[in-house]
Amino acid sequence: MVPGTGAWGLLLLTVAAALMLPTRPPGSQRAQIIGGQEVLPLSRPYMASVSFEGQHHCGGFLFRAHWVVSAAHCFRNRDPRTGLVVLGAHSLHTSEPTRQVFSIAAVVKHPEYQPTTHANDICLLRLNGSAVLGPAVGLLQLPGRGAQPPAAGTLCHVAGWGSISDFEDPPPGLMEAKVRVLDLDVCNSSWQGQLSPAMLCTHSGDRWRRGFCSADSGGPLVCGSRAHGLVSFSGLWCGDPKTPDVYTQVSAFVAWIWKVVRGSPPSRTAGLLVWAT
Protein backbone atom coordinates (compact mmCIF):
# COMPACT_ATOMS: atom_id res chain seq x y z
CA MET A 1 0.00 0.00 0.00
CA VAL A 2 1.25 3.47 -0.85
CA PRO A 3 1.11 6.16 1.89
CA GLY A 4 -0.59 8.81 -0.20
CA THR A 5 -3.33 9.22 -2.77
CA GLY A 6 -3.50 10.50 -6.33
CA ALA A 7 -1.18 10.13 -9.31
CA TRP A 8 0.78 13.32 -8.61
CA GLY A 9 1.31 12.36 -4.98
CA LEU A 10 2.51 8.90 -5.99
CA LEU A 11 4.95 10.35 -8.54
CA LEU A 12 6.44 12.78 -6.03
CA LEU A 13 6.75 10.13 -3.33
CA THR A 14 8.40 7.73 -5.76
CA VAL A 15 11.03 10.32 -6.71
CA ALA A 16 11.68 11.23 -3.07
CA ALA A 17 12.01 7.60 -2.01
CA ALA A 18 14.53 6.93 -4.76
CA LEU A 19 16.75 9.80 -3.70
CA MET A 20 16.78 9.97 0.09
CA LEU A 21 15.22 9.19 3.42
CA PRO A 22 11.57 10.26 3.61
CA THR A 23 11.62 14.00 4.21
CA ARG A 24 7.91 14.30 5.00
CA PRO A 25 7.13 12.85 8.41
CA PRO A 26 4.86 9.80 8.19
CA GLY A 27 2.38 11.33 10.63
CA SER A 28 1.49 13.97 8.06
CA GLN A 29 -0.16 11.39 5.82
CA ARG A 30 -2.58 8.50 6.34
CA ALA A 31 -2.22 4.76 5.88
CA GLN A 32 -2.71 1.54 7.79
CA ILE A 33 -1.30 -1.08 10.06
CA ILE A 34 -0.20 -3.53 7.37
CA GLY A 35 -0.99 -7.24 7.69
CA GLY A 36 -2.54 -6.85 11.12
CA GLN A 37 -5.88 -7.44 12.75
CA GLU A 38 -8.32 -5.67 15.04
CA VAL A 39 -7.57 -6.17 18.74
CA LEU A 40 -10.14 -6.94 21.40
CA PRO A 41 -11.74 -3.65 22.52
CA LEU A 42 -9.79 -1.94 25.31
CA SER A 43 -7.20 -4.74 25.46
CA ARG A 44 -4.45 -2.14 24.92
CA PRO A 45 -5.52 0.42 27.56
CA TYR A 46 -2.28 2.40 27.26
CA MET A 47 -2.95 3.47 23.65
CA ALA A 48 -3.49 7.17 22.99
CA SER A 49 -4.82 8.94 19.92
CA VAL A 50 -3.55 12.45 19.17
CA SER A 51 -6.07 14.36 17.07
CA PHE A 52 -6.29 17.74 15.38
CA GLU A 53 -9.54 19.28 14.15
CA GLY A 54 -11.39 16.13 15.11
CA GLN A 55 -9.17 13.84 12.98
CA HIS A 56 -6.77 11.22 14.28
CA HIS A 57 -3.24 12.30 13.45
CA CYS A 58 -0.79 10.20 15.46
CA GLY A 59 -0.58 7.63 18.20
CA GLY A 60 1.14 7.55 21.56
CA PHE A 61 1.05 5.71 24.85
CA LEU A 62 0.27 6.60 28.45
CA PHE A 63 3.08 5.88 30.91
CA ARG A 64 2.05 8.15 33.78
CA ALA A 65 -1.43 9.41 34.62
CA HIS A 66 -0.78 12.79 33.01
CA TRP A 67 2.09 11.98 30.62
CA VAL A 68 2.01 10.47 27.12
CA VAL A 69 4.96 9.52 24.90
CA SER A 70 4.65 10.26 21.18
CA ALA A 71 6.83 11.11 18.18
CA ALA A 72 8.31 14.59 17.84
CA HIS A 73 7.53 14.74 14.11
CA CYS A 74 3.80 14.57 14.91
CA PHE A 75 4.01 18.20 16.05
CA ARG A 76 5.87 19.69 13.11
CA ASN A 77 3.77 22.54 11.75
CA ARG A 78 1.06 21.84 14.32
CA ASP A 79 -0.18 24.09 17.10
CA PRO A 80 -0.41 21.85 20.22
CA ARG A 81 -3.13 24.12 21.61
CA THR A 82 -5.46 22.75 18.94
CA GLY A 83 -4.66 19.11 19.71
CA LEU A 84 -6.48 16.60 21.87
CA VAL A 85 -5.36 13.32 23.43
CA VAL A 86 -7.97 10.56 23.52
CA LEU A 87 -7.58 7.65 25.94
CA GLY A 88 -9.80 4.62 26.50
CA ALA A 89 -10.86 4.36 22.86
CA HIS A 90 -11.27 1.43 20.49
CA SER A 91 -13.18 2.81 17.50
CA LEU A 92 -12.49 6.50 16.96
CA HIS A 93 -15.65 6.96 14.92
CA THR A 94 -18.24 5.88 17.48
CA SER A 95 -19.26 7.24 20.88
CA GLU A 96 -17.67 5.25 23.69
CA PRO A 97 -18.38 5.82 27.40
CA THR A 98 -14.85 4.67 28.29
CA ARG A 99 -13.18 7.63 26.59
CA GLN A 100 -11.19 10.27 28.43
CA VAL A 101 -10.25 13.34 26.42
CA PHE A 102 -7.56 15.85 27.38
CA SER A 103 -6.04 18.94 25.89
CA ILE A 104 -2.26 19.26 25.79
CA ALA A 105 -0.72 21.39 28.53
CA ALA A 106 2.86 21.04 27.25
CA VAL A 107 4.86 19.37 24.52
CA VAL A 108 8.49 18.55 25.32
CA LYS A 109 10.45 17.55 22.24
CA HIS A 110 13.86 15.99 22.64
CA PRO A 111 16.39 18.83 22.37
CA GLU A 112 18.38 16.97 19.70
CA TYR A 113 15.46 15.98 17.48
CA GLN A 114 16.48 16.25 13.82
CA PRO A 115 13.54 16.48 11.37
CA THR A 116 15.62 15.69 8.29
CA THR A 117 17.18 12.48 9.65
CA HIS A 118 14.43 11.55 12.15
CA ALA A 119 17.09 11.20 14.86
CA ASN A 120 15.77 11.47 18.44
CA ASP A 121 12.17 11.43 17.19
CA ILE A 122 10.46 11.48 20.57
CA CYS A 123 8.40 13.90 22.62
CA LEU A 124 6.44 13.95 25.87
CA LEU A 125 2.92 15.32 26.16
CA ARG A 126 1.80 16.67 29.51
CA LEU A 127 -1.98 16.39 29.72
CA ASN A 128 -4.11 19.15 31.20
CA GLY A 129 -5.44 16.68 33.75
CA SER A 130 -4.77 13.29 35.27
CA ALA A 131 -6.18 10.18 33.60
CA VAL A 132 -8.44 8.01 35.72
CA LEU A 133 -6.84 4.58 35.58
CA GLY A 134 -8.93 1.45 35.29
CA PRO A 135 -9.79 -1.38 32.87
CA ALA A 136 -10.11 0.98 29.88
CA VAL A 137 -7.20 3.34 30.59
CA GLY A 138 -3.88 2.04 31.88
CA LEU A 139 -0.13 2.53 31.80
CA LEU A 140 2.57 0.93 29.65
CA GLN A 141 5.95 0.42 31.23
CA LEU A 142 9.14 1.92 29.88
CA PRO A 143 12.30 -0.18 29.63
CA GLY A 144 14.37 -0.17 32.80
CA ARG A 145 17.36 2.13 33.15
CA GLY A 146 20.29 0.70 31.23
CA ALA A 147 18.09 -1.83 29.41
CA GLN A 148 19.29 -3.12 26.07
CA PRO A 149 17.02 -3.11 23.01
CA PRO A 150 15.36 -6.43 22.22
CA ALA A 151 17.53 -8.87 20.28
CA ALA A 152 17.07 -9.50 16.59
CA GLY A 153 14.27 -11.99 16.02
CA THR A 154 12.26 -10.93 19.10
CA LEU A 155 8.51 -11.03 18.46
CA CYS A 156 6.81 -7.70 19.22
CA HIS A 157 3.52 -5.93 18.49
CA VAL A 158 2.77 -2.52 16.97
CA ALA A 159 -0.70 -0.95 17.07
CA GLY A 160 -2.47 2.09 15.67
CA TRP A 161 -5.54 3.70 14.11
CA GLY A 162 -4.18 4.35 10.62
CA SER A 163 -6.59 4.15 7.68
CA ILE A 164 -7.06 0.75 6.03
CA SER A 165 -6.85 1.85 2.41
CA ASP A 166 -5.39 4.54 0.16
CA PHE A 167 -8.88 6.04 0.17
CA GLU A 168 -8.53 6.79 3.91
CA ASP A 169 -11.20 4.31 4.97
CA PRO A 170 -11.16 4.23 8.77
CA PRO A 171 -10.30 0.98 10.57
CA PRO A 172 -13.09 -0.76 12.49
CA GLY A 173 -11.08 -0.22 15.65
CA LEU A 174 -7.55 -0.34 16.99
CA MET A 175 -5.38 -2.50 14.72
CA GLU A 176 -2.25 -4.43 15.63
CA ALA A 177 0.44 -6.36 13.76
CA LYS A 178 3.00 -8.90 14.93
CA VAL A 179 6.53 -8.08 13.80
CA ARG A 180 10.06 -9.20 14.56
CA VAL A 181 13.05 -7.08 15.52
CA LEU A 182 15.60 -6.78 12.72
CA ASP A 183 19.32 -6.43 13.32
CA LEU A 184 20.12 -2.71 13.11
CA ASP A 185 23.17 -3.21 10.88
CA VAL A 186 21.09 -5.24 8.42
CA CYS A 187 18.37 -2.60 8.54
CA ASN A 188 20.87 0.21 8.09
CA SER A 189 22.17 -1.35 4.88
CA SER A 190 18.65 -1.04 3.48
CA TRP A 191 18.57 2.64 4.47
CA GLN A 192 22.01 3.46 2.97
CA GLY A 193 23.63 3.80 6.38
CA GLN A 194 21.47 6.74 7.44
CA LEU A 195 20.10 5.28 10.68
CA SER A 196 21.37 6.26 14.11
CA PRO A 197 22.27 3.84 16.95
CA ALA A 198 19.20 5.07 18.90
CA MET A 199 16.83 3.56 16.33
CA LEU A 200 15.21 0.14 16.14
CA CYS A 201 13.89 -1.78 13.13
CA THR A 202 11.32 -4.50 12.53
CA HIS A 203 10.13 -6.65 9.64
CA SER A 204 7.53 -9.36 9.17
CA GLY A 205 10.01 -12.19 9.52
CA ASP A 206 8.33 -14.05 6.66
CA ARG A 207 7.16 -13.39 3.09
CA TRP A 208 4.15 -11.30 4.16
CA ARG A 209 4.08 -7.52 4.49
CA ARG A 210 3.41 -6.52 8.09
CA GLY A 211 4.12 -3.36 10.03
CA PHE A 212 3.04 0.22 10.50
CA CYS A 213 2.41 3.16 8.24
CA SER A 214 1.84 6.90 8.48
CA ALA A 215 -0.98 7.68 10.91
CA ASP A 216 0.44 5.06 13.29
CA SER A 217 3.35 7.41 14.06
CA GLY A 218 4.08 7.83 17.76
CA GLY A 219 2.56 4.51 18.76
CA PRO A 220 4.54 1.97 20.78
CA LEU A 221 6.34 -1.16 19.71
CA VAL A 222 5.59 -3.49 22.62
CA CYS A 223 8.02 -6.32 23.30
CA GLY A 224 7.01 -8.40 26.29
CA SER A 225 5.28 -5.92 28.56
CA ARG A 226 7.32 -2.81 27.80
CA ALA A 227 7.49 -0.10 25.12
CA HIS A 228 10.81 -0.66 23.36
CA GLY A 229 10.08 1.32 20.20
CA LEU A 230 8.19 4.39 19.06
CA VAL A 231 6.87 4.46 15.48
CA SER A 232 9.00 6.93 13.50
CA PHE A 233 9.13 6.30 9.72
CA SER A 234 8.89 3.70 6.98
CA GLY A 235 9.41 3.49 3.23
CA LEU A 236 7.17 4.35 0.32
CA TRP A 237 5.47 0.96 0.50
CA CYS A 238 4.44 0.22 4.07
CA GLY A 239 5.68 -3.13 5.32
CA ASP A 240 8.12 -3.43 2.40
CA PRO A 241 11.13 -5.57 3.45
CA LYS A 242 13.33 -3.47 1.18
CA THR A 243 12.80 -0.50 3.52
CA PRO A 244 12.16 -1.95 6.99
CA ASP A 245 10.09 -0.04 9.54
CA VAL A 246 12.13 2.27 11.77
CA TYR A 247 11.35 3.21 15.37
CA THR A 248 12.88 5.45 17.99
CA GLN A 249 14.62 3.13 20.45
CA VAL A 250 12.89 4.01 23.73
CA SER A 251 15.57 2.50 25.98
CA ALA A 252 18.04 5.13 24.75
CA PHE A 253 15.80 7.91 26.12
CA VAL A 254 14.64 6.55 29.48
CA ALA A 255 16.97 8.79 31.51
CA TRP A 256 15.80 11.86 29.55
CA ILE A 257 12.14 10.93 30.01
CA TRP A 258 12.43 10.63 33.78
CA LYS A 259 14.48 13.82 33.98
CA VAL A 260 11.66 15.71 32.27
CA VAL A 261 8.85 14.09 34.25
CA ARG A 262 10.50 14.44 37.66
CA GLY A 263 12.13 17.77 37.01
CA SER A 264 10.82 21.32 37.19
CA PRO A 265 7.84 22.40 35.02
CA PRO A 266 8.85 22.78 31.36
CA SER A 267 10.01 26.20 30.26
CA ARG A 268 11.77 27.76 27.31
CA THR A 269 14.84 28.44 29.45
CA ALA A 270 15.38 24.81 30.44
CA GLY A 271 17.27 23.92 27.28
CA LEU A 272 14.33 21.98 25.91
CA LEU A 273 12.12 22.59 22.91
CA VAL A 274 8.85 23.25 24.70
CA TRP A 275 5.43 24.74 24.22
CA ALA A 276 3.41 25.26 27.40
CA THR A 277 0.22 26.96 28.46
- What is the identity of the amino acid at 222? V
The more confidently predicted of residues 89 and 13 is: 89
Separation between Cα atoms, residue 59 and residue 220, nearest integer Å: 8
pTM of the entire predicted model: 0.84
Asked if 164 and 171 count as a contact pair (C-beta separation under 8 A), the reply is: yes
Separation between Cα atoms, residue 74 and residue 41, nearest integer Å: 25
Segment 15-40 mean pLDDT: 55
Q: Which of 57, 73, 118, 203 is catalytic?
A: 73
pLDDT digits (tens, 9 = 90+) for 46-71: 999 999 999 999 999 999 999 999 99
HSE on the CB side for 41, CA within 13 Å?
10
- What is the identity of the amino acid at 185? D
pLDDT reported for residue 165: 55
Q: Which of 57, 90, 121, 163 is catalytic?
A: 121
- 73 as an active site residue: the answer is yes
Query: What would the CATH number be for the domain defined by 25-39+142-250?
Result: 2.40.10.10
pLDDT digits (tens, 9 = 90+) for 113-167: 999 999 999 999 999 999 999 999 999 999 998 899 999 999 999 999 986 655 5
- 217 as an active site residue: the answer is yes
Q: Which of 217, 232, 234, 251 is catalytic?
A: 217
Q: Under CATH, domain 47-139+254-276 is a member of which superfamily?
A: Trypsin-like serine proteases (2.40.10.10)
Q: Where in the chain is the domain with CATH 2.40.10.10?
A: 25-39+142-250, 47-139+254-276
Looking at the DSSP bridge assignments, the partners of residue 110 are: none
- 190 as an active site residue: the answer is no
Q: Which of 202, 208, 145, 151 is nearest to 179 (CA)?
A: 202
Asked if 86 and 98 count as a contact pair (C-beta separation under 8 A), the reply is: no
* Burial degree of 64 (CB within 10 A; 0-12, 13-18, 19+): middle
